[in-house]
Amino acid sequence: MYNTDFNRNENFWNGLYICQNQSSSCEKCERAHRFEQLLSHLTLASKAENYEERISTTVVAICADEKLMAPLQLILPREFDERKHIVDSMAQKYLQQASKSVQHLVPIKSVADGNCLFNSIISLLPDSNLSAVELRVRTVIELVKNKIYYVNQCSNHVGPFEEALRRTCNNNTFSELYEIVALANVLQCEVQSVYPYIDYRAEMKIMNQMYKSAETLVPNSRRVIIFWSSTEDEISTRTRPGNHGIWNPNHFVPLLEQYRSYRTEDNERVSTTPESPRKATSKNSPASFIQSLEFSPPPNTTKHKDSAETYFETIPVSQAASNRSSESEDQRNARLTEQRKRSVSNRSSESEDQRNARLTEQRKRSISNRLSHSQQRKTARLTCRQQHLKEIESVGRKQLMMKQTQIMSIQGQRRVLERKKQALIDQYHWPAAIPMQLKECCLQDFSDHMSMSVLRQSICIICNVRASANTMKEYALQNIPHSVKLSCHADLIDIIPKSQQTAQNENTSSIFFSLSNAVFYKKGYNTLAKTGNICQECNRALAKDQVPIFSAANKMWIGDMPLVLQQLTIAEEKLISLYRHNSCVIKLHSPFHHHSTAQTALKGNVITFMHNMSNIVTSLPLDVEDLCDTLKIVFVGADIPNRVELLNEINIAKLPEDDVPESIWTIIERIENAADGDVERAGYTGDPLVDAVTQGEAHTTNIFPITTSAILDVNGTTIASKDIGVHLLHKIKNSSSKALIDPSDISTDNMENEDVYVIPRSNMPVNDCANPEFLLGLFPTLFPYGCGAPYDSTRPSPVSLNQHIRYLLAYEDQRFEKHHSFMFVLFNIMQRRQACWNASLMASRPYFQDTATDLQTLTSKEIETALISATSQTFSSITNPRVNMLMKRIRTVGGNVMGSAYSRASLRTQIHALIFNQGLPSIFMTINPADIHSRVALYFAGVDLDLDTILPEKIPSTYERAQIIASHPVATARFFNVLISSILKCMVEKGVLGPIKAYFGTVENQGRGSLHLHILMWLDHDLTPSQLKESVKNEEFRNGLLGYLEDIIKQDGEFRRIGVIAFG
C-alpha cells in the first residue's frame, strides 16, 4: 500500500515538474529574446559619433516599459549544490593564491563567452528566467542613471567611464570593475570582488573590496562573491599574445560556501546535501522543521508549538523553494525577523550550564569542520598536483620516446649508408672513374646534412640565442634541473619590470617571469606543449648546479630595443651616444648599385673618442642665418638620372615651362671611375645578381644610392684615407669636375666660400680595454638599458670577451649583426688585443733584449726609405739588416692576428710543411657558393622557410635576397661554414673525388664581400712525380687516369644551375 501511494505521488510530482519546466523554458526564451533586441539597439547607439547621447536616449526608451524593467527579486544561494553547480578546477588552482579568507570557498563554473561576469550570476540560479543579456542591459541602464557615482568610484583606477560604457553596450565583451560595482545596484545586494595575488598591480586593493548597493539597505546575508580567474593555467596566460609575460585575468566565476553539517541528538553527523531530507534549525531552538518527500500527513493534523517538541512541515522541497522565491521583500524581512525573535527567546530561557554546553558544542563543531575542510583541501591539492605531474611525465615520456625512436632510425640509416660507402671505397682502386653508386651515396649523405631536420634552429628559453635544435634539450618549466639557479640577478629586479612596461606599450616584449622569479624568453617557449628549449651551454651548467653564464641570473640581460631607438639614423645614433668611433666602413661593389644590396668592409683601425657634449648643445641645431642659401643635390651612381626620375609630375608641372630648368642640369656631374671593379672578380664565378638584372628583375626602390663615392677602391689598399676624405669633401662642396676626376688635385679654392660644420669631439681616446662602460656609451641603441656589456665584474660567473661577442652575434633579434659598425669595432678591438698579446709574449723572451737595442737605433728616415723600396718591390733584406729584423718581428706578431695579411702569409709555411710530409698536392679546387641563391642562408637570416619544401611564393626576389644577405653577415658566414663542412665531410672525405689522404684550405672574400674557399687535396697514393710519369706510359694506367679526370672535371653551364639548387 505504501509503495503504491508513493509511486502515485512521485508520478504526480514528476508530471507537475515537467509542465512547470516547459512553461518556464518558454517564458525564459521569450524574455531573453526581448533583451537581446534591446541590447542590439544599445550596440548600434554605442557605434555612433555622439554615442553618449544616443545611449542615454535608448536607455530612456527601455525604462519606459516598467513591467519589463521591474526590480529583480532574487534569492541568491550561499552554499554549493552539486545538483545545480559545477566546480571550476582551473579557478580552484588560482583561488589558492587569493586571500586566505576566501580559499575555503568553492568556485562555480560559468560559461566563458565574454559575458562571464553575468554568466557567473546565471550559474548561481540555473532555474531562474534570468539571462546574461538581461543583466548586461540592466547594467548599462544603471551606469547611465548613476554616471557621477561610478565616475567618482572607478575612473581614477580603471580608466574613463565613457569607454567602459561603450564597451558594456556590446555583447560578449569582457567586463571590468565598472560592471562589478554596477551589479551591486542591479542585484540589490553586496558584491565582493576577489582578485588573486599574482603580479602585483597598483589597483590590487580596489580589486579585493566589497561593493554595496547605493540605494537599498541590504542585509549582510545577501552577498555575491565574484572571483577574477583565467581559462588557462598561469604559464599559458602569461604567454598569451598581448599579455607580454604578465598574468591578466580573462574570466569571472562566483564563489560559494562548502557543505555545512551538524550533529543530531544521537551524535550522528548529517550533511545538508540536497538528496537527503533537510532539517532547518534556528540555532539551538528546540523547534525544528523536517521536510519529507515520501508521504504527507492529513491536512487537518494540528501541531502544538511547544519549545520542547518538534512539528512536521508537509510542504515538499520544490514547493517550499517556490514559495520563498515568490515572496515579496516585505514578507521575506518579516520571516527573517520572526526567526531572529525565536532564536533570541530560546537563548534567553536557557540556563548557564545549557549555554556553556551549547558554546562548547559549537566550538567542537567549528574545530572539527575546519580540520575536515583543511584536510580535504590538502588531499585534493596533492591529488591534483600528482595527477598533473603524471600527465606531464606521460606526455614527456611519449615525446622523448618518439624523439629517441626518430634519432635511432636516422642513426641506423646512417650506419647502413656508411657501411655501403666503405664497401664501395674498399673495392675502388685509383686511377679509375668513381663508381656511380658511391656518388649517389655521398650525395644522399650531403642532402641529409643540409636538410631541415639537421639545420633546424631553435631559441634558448634561458639565454635567447639561436642554435641548432638538435643540440637543445626540451623541458617543462617545472622540470628544469636546479631551476633555483635561474633566479633573476638582484641588480635587474627593478630594471626588468620597467622595461617590460615600455615593451608592453609597444607590444614588443620578449620575456616573461616564472613563479621562481626566473627570467625566460617567450620565443623559446612552446605554448602548445608547455615546454621550453635549453641550449647545450645552459643545460650543461644547470646539470652541474651552476648559473648559466648567458642567463639573466648572471646579469646577461640586454632588454628589448624600444621602437623609438630602432628608427634612428646613423647620425642621430651617434649624437645620443657618449662616445664616437672614428673608422672607415666602406660599401663594396653591387650590380644593383644600391647601398642596401652591398656588403660592408672595414678599412684601417678604429679609434674611439668621447663626445664634446657642451659644444654639440651650443652648435646644433643651426641658426637660420647659418643655413645654406641654396640647395645642392648631388646624384652619385652608375648612370645619370632621367629627367622624369628627378621630380614627380606634380612638381614638374609647377616649374617654368613644365620642365626642369637648364641651370639645374648644368650642375649635375657624372663620375666614371669603375675600371678596377672587375679586378678581384676575374677568374671567379659570375656574380649571381647579374642574372637578376638580365632577367628583368629590377629593384623596387626609387632612390638613387650613393655606391660610388669619389673613387672606387676594391682592394682597399691603393688609396690613402686622406685621399678619400679629400674627395668626399670635394663632392659635398660641389667642386669642379677636374678636382673630382684627378685625385692628386687637393686644392681648396672652391671650399673657401662656404662653412663646414663638423660635430665636435674630445681629443683624448677612450680606453676600450677592460672598460665595462665602453660599449654601453658607444652603442646606446644596442644596450638600451645599460645592461649586458662585457667586463662586468659584478657577474657571479665571469664571461670572456670572445664568449661575450659570440653570444651577442647569436642573439635572437639579430640586432648586433645587422648594426652598421658593431662587428667592425669589436673585430678591430680583438685584432689589437691579439697583436698586443703576441708582442708582449715576444718581448718577454730573453733574446729580445738584444733585438730591442738594435731597433732603438733605427731612425724614421730609414723606415720610410725601406717602406718606399718595399712598395716599389726593390727592397732587399741585405740592404739594412736592422729593418729586416724589424719586419721579421712584425711578421711574427702579425701572423697570429686574425684577418691580417701576415696571417695569410703564415699559411704558406703550413702548406710547405704538408708538402714536405705528403708530397705534391694532386688537386686544386675553388668552391664559390652563391649565397644569394641559397635557401639555407635565407633561413639562417631569419626568413621563414622549409628547407625540405620549395615554395616559390615564399622565396624573395633576387633584389630582396641581396638585401637580406648584405644585412646579415653572420648568417651568411654560418651558411658558408655549414655548406663547406658538409661538402668536405660528406663528399671529399667519403671519396667522391677519389681516396683523399689530406687537404688544406683557406677562406677568402670576393670584391662584393661573399666568401669562397681555395683548397689543395692529396690523393691517397704513393706515386712520386717521376713514378707517375713512368706509369702514364702504361696503357691501362693511362686509360684509367683519363677516365678518372674526365669523371671529376666537367664544364657545363646547365649543370652549374642545377648544382646551385642541389647544393644550396
Q: Map residue 79 onto helix, strand or coil.
A: strand
Report, in angstroms and rounded to the nearest whole number, the Rg of the chain calculated over CA atoms: 42
Helices (H), 96-247: 116-124, 132-145, 147-158, 161-168, 177-187, 204-207, 234-238
**C-alpha of 278 from chain center:** 58
| Cα–Cα nearest to 983, from 1007, 999, 962 | 999
Q: How many CA atoms lie within 13 A of 428 on its CB side?
A: 27
Sheet containing strand 1011-1019, edge to edge, reads 923-927, 1011-1019, 996-1005
- Average pLDDT score, the chain: 75
* Span of 49-53, 276-280, 907-911, 919-923 with lowest mean pLDDT: 276-280
The helix (H) or strand (E) run that includes residue 609 is strand 600-611
Pairing of strands 923-927, 996-1005: unpaired
Cell of 698: 629590377
Q: Please write down the long-range contacts of 469-474, taking CB distance under 8 Å and 24 or more positions apart.
A: 469/533, 471/535, 471/536, 472/533, 472/534, 472/535, 472/536, 472/539, 473/533, 473/534, 473/536, 473/539, 474/399, 474/526, 474/529, 474/531, 474/532, 474/533, 474/534
Cell of 977: 661554414
| Cα–Cα nearest to 763, from 615, 573, 569 | 615
Beta strands in 618-717, from DSSP E residues, in sequence order? none
CB 440 within 8 A of CB 421: no
> What digits encode the pLDDT tens for the residues 503-525?
666 666 676 666 567 889 988 88
Instruction: State the chain's maximal CA–CA distance in angstroms.
Output: 142
CB within 8 A of 125, min separation 6: which ones? 74, 76, 77
Q: Which residue has the higher pLDDT, 474 or 756?
A: 474
CB 820 within 8 A of CB 974: no
Task: Kindly indicate the confidence band of residue 715, based on its pLDDT and cuts at 50, 70 and 90.
Answer: very low
Cα distance between residue 118 and residue 131, in whole Å: 8
Q: Which residue has the higher pLDDT, 359 or 789?
A: 789
Cα distance between residue 525 and residue 532, in whole Å: 4
Cα dihedral 395/398/399/400 (nearest 10): 120
Using CA atoms, how far residue 315 sits from 192, 270, 297, 321, 352, in Å, is: 34, 21, 10, 10, 36
Q: Taking 90 as the threshold, does the pLDDT of residue 327 lie above it?
A: no
Q: Write out 273-284 in H/E/C secondary structure.
A: CCCCCCEEECCC
What ranges do the domains of the chain cover? 2-256, 428-459+901-1064, 460-560, 576-771, 845-899
According to DSSP, residue 87 is labeled B
Cα distance between residue 24 and residue 28, in whole Å: 6
> What digits encode the pLDDT tens for the residues 822-835?
999 999 999 888 88
> What digits encode the pLDDT tens for the residues 1002-1056?
998 887 788 999 999 999 888 888 888 888 888 988 899 999 998 888 876 554 4
Q: Taking 60 as the threshold, does the pLDDT of residue 588 lie above it?
A: yes
CB 594 within 8 A of CB 817: no
Q: Map residue 730 onto helix, strand or coil.
A: helix
Task: Kindly indicate the confidence band of residue 592, based on its pLDDT and cuts at 50, 70 and 90.
Answer: confident
Task: Kindly indicate the confidence band of residue 75, based on its pLDDT and cuts at 50, 70 and 90.
Answer: confident
> What digits encode the pLDDT tens for the residues 904-950?
888 888 899 999 999 899 999 999 998 888 999 999 998 988 888 87
Q: What is the pLDDT of residue 324?
A: 63
> What digits encode the pLDDT tens for the residues 456-466?
999 999 999 99
The helix (H) or strand (E) run that includes residue 252 is strand 251-256
**Angle between helices 2-46 and 132-145 in degrees, nearest 10:** 50
* Span of 14-23, 645-654, 967-976 with lowest mean pLDDT: 14-23
In DSSP notation, 286-333 reads S-EEEB-SS----TT------TTS---B---HHHHHHHHHHS-HHHHH
Residue 418 identity: E
Cell of 659: 620642365
Q: What fold is seen in the domain 2-256? A: Cathepsin B; Chain A (3.90.70)
Q: What is the pLDDT of residue 459?
A: 93
CB 710 within 8 A of CB 728: yes
Q: What is the pLDDT of residue 570?
A: 85
